[in-house]
Amino acid sequence: MNPVPTTLPRPLVAAAALAAAAPVHAESAAVRPLPPVPDAVGFAGAFAGIHGKHLLAGGGANFPDGTMPWEGGQKVWHDRLFALDMATPDAAWREIGKFPTPVGYGLSLTLADGVILIGGSDAKEHSRRVTLLTLADGKPAFKALPDLPVPLAQMAGALVGQKIHVCGGIEKPDSTSATAAHWTFDLTARDRGWESAPPLPSTGRMLATAAAIGDAFILAGGCSLAPDAAGKPVRTYLREAWKFADGKWTRLADLPRAAVAAASPAPVRGRSLFVVSGDDGLQTGLPTPAAHQGFTKEILRYDLDRNAWSTAGQLDLPAPVTLPTAPWQDGFVLFNGEVKPGVRTPQVLLFTSPAESP
C-alpha cells in the first residue's frame, strides 16, 4: 500500500515475483488468471476500466529496482497505459500510450462511454483532475471533466445508477487525518460538476472499499489517521460498514475483520458484495518486518438484504491489496496490486461468483 506510517512499524520484505498459474476456486467465488501485465514488477494504486471490449489499465507506482523504501529505494509513479482485448482468446497486452502525467492511488470507474479517472497523486502532490479515457482505433484519448472540489487520493467510490459517489481519502501526501467528505457527480448533468452530499457520520477514512448495490452506495472498512506525538500520521484499522441511500447514511453490520485497501470497487453479484483480501492489521507488530507473510487471502461476502457477512472462501495465490477492479461480463478484473508491503505483482485476475446468497 502507499507508504503511510501505521500505528506500528511497517514490515520489511524482500522483493518477489508472484503470479497465478491456474484457476482458483473458493466456496462461492472463483478466480482465474488473465495474462499478466508486461512489466516485471507490476503496479499498486493503478487505474483500470473497460471501454468496449478492451481492458484499459495503467498508472500506479512501484519500486522498479526492487529496493524497498526502508533500504533506500525510491518509489516511482508511472504514466504507462496498457490495453487487453478481453473478447479475443489468447490476446496479449499492448502498451498503447501514456497518461497525461504519472499518477496513481485515485479512483477509476467503468462508464458507458469510457473509463473515468478521478484524482490520485504523484510524487509531490494530490490531484483534483478528473478525466474520461476512451480508446478509438487503438489509440487512447483523454477528455477533461469537472475537477474535484479538493485534491484527493486513496478515496473510495462507486457508480450508483447514473451518479458517481466518492467518499473519504486524504487531500495531501502528509495529511494526518482522512476526510469524511462525500461528493457526487451526476453523469446526466456533467456540466454541474461535483456536488456535496451528506458526509459519512463517522471518522474520516482512507483506503476503504466501496460498492453499488441497487440504489445504495456501500462503504466498508478502511483506516482513519491521527497524528502521533511527533506529528506523523498513524493508522487505526476500521471494521465499520455504511450504506447511503435515500439521502441518508445507515450503519450496517461490522466486517468480521478489518479490511484496508481491498480491491475496490468491490465485486458485486446480485445483492451481495465481496471484499477480496485487504490488510487486516494483524501483522503490524511483528518482531521483524521481514517476517510479513503477505495479506489475508480471505474473501468476505456481504448480503445487503440479510445485513450479514460470511466467508466466501480463500484465494490460493498471493493476495493483492491497493488495486482497482473493472467489471467484465459476469465477473470483475483485479489488476495488479501489492502482495507484501512494497512488493507489487504483475498478476491480473478475473473474479466471478454466483449471484445466490450462501
Pairing of strands 348-352, 30-34: antiparallel
Tell me the pLDDT band of 11, cut-offs 50, 70 and 90.
very low
Q: What number is the average pLDDT over the span 234-242?
A: 97
Is the residue at 124 inside a domain?
yes
160 pLDDT more than 50: yes
111 pLDDT more than 90: yes
CATH number of the domain enclosing 282: 2.120.10.80
**pLDDT tens digits along 36-57:** 999 999 999 999 999 999 999 9
Is the residue at 5 inside a domain?
no
Distance CA 17, CA 89 (A): 25
Query: Across the chain, what does the average pLDDT equal?
Result: 91
CB atoms within 10 A of CB 129: 19
> In terms of pLDDT, which residue wins out, 346 or 66?
346
Is the residue at 343 inside a domain?
yes
Q: What is the pLDDT of residue 141?
A: 98
Domain that holds residue 300: 31-352
24 pLDDT more than 60: no
Is the residue at 6 inside a domain?
no
How would you label 181-216 residue by residue, b for 16+ Cβ within 10 Å and e otherwise?
Answer: bbbbbeeeeeeeebeebeebeebbbbbbbbbbbeeb
* Cell output for 116: 473515468
285 pLDDT more than 80: no
Please give, one letter per residue, the 3-state secondary structure of the chain: CCCCCCCCCCCCCCCCCCCCCCCEECCCCEEEEECCCCCCCCCECCEEEEECCEEEEECCEECCCCCCHHHCCCCEECCEEEEEECCCCCCCCEEEEECCCCCECCEEEEECCEEEEECCECCCCECCCEEEEEEECCEEEEEEECCCCCCCECCEEEEECCEEEEECCECCCCCCCCCCCEEEEECCCHHHCEEEECCCCCCCCECCEEEEECCEEEEECCEEEEECCCCCEEEEECCCEEEEECCEEEECCCCCCCCECCCECCCEECCEEEEECCECCCCCCCCCHHHCCCCCCEEEEEECCCCEEEEEEECCCCCCECCEEEEECCEEEEECCEEECCEECCCEEEEECCCCCC
Q: Which residue, 212, 241, 208, 209, is CA-closest to 225?
A: 208
66 pLDDT more than 50: yes
Distance CA 277, CA 260 (A): 9
**pLDDT tens digits along 195-205:** 999 999 999 99
Q: What is the pLDDT of residue 350?
A: 97
CB atoms within 10 A of CB 287: 6
Residue 334 · residue 55 · CB < 8 Å: no
* pTM of the predicted structure, to 2 decimals: 0.91
Tell me the pLDDT band of 289, cut-offs 50, 70 and 90.
low
Sorted by sequence, the CB contacts under 8 Å of residue 253 that are 6+ apart come out as 241, 302, 307, 308, 309
* Cell output for 204: 474520516
Q: What is the pLDDT of residue 254?
A: 98
Tell me the pLDDT band of 192, cut-offs 50, 70 and 90.
very high
> Percent of the chain, pLDDT > 90?
85
Least confident of 62-71, 109-118, 173-182, 265-274: 62-71
Q: What number is the average pLDDT over the span 310-326?
A: 95
Q: What is the pLDDT of residue 28?
A: 65
| Total domains in the fold of the chain | 1
Is the residue at 86 inside a domain?
yes
Is the residue at 102 inside a domain?
yes
Q: What number is the average pLDDT over the span 74-100?
A: 97
Q: What number is the average pLDDT over the span 256-275?
A: 97
Is the residue at 299 inside a domain?
yes
63 pLDDT more than 60: yes
Q: What is the pLDDT of residue 343?
A: 93
Identity of the amino acid at 166: V
Is the residue at 64 inside a domain?
yes
186 pLDDT more than 50: yes
Tracing cell 522498479 back to the chain, one arrives at 64
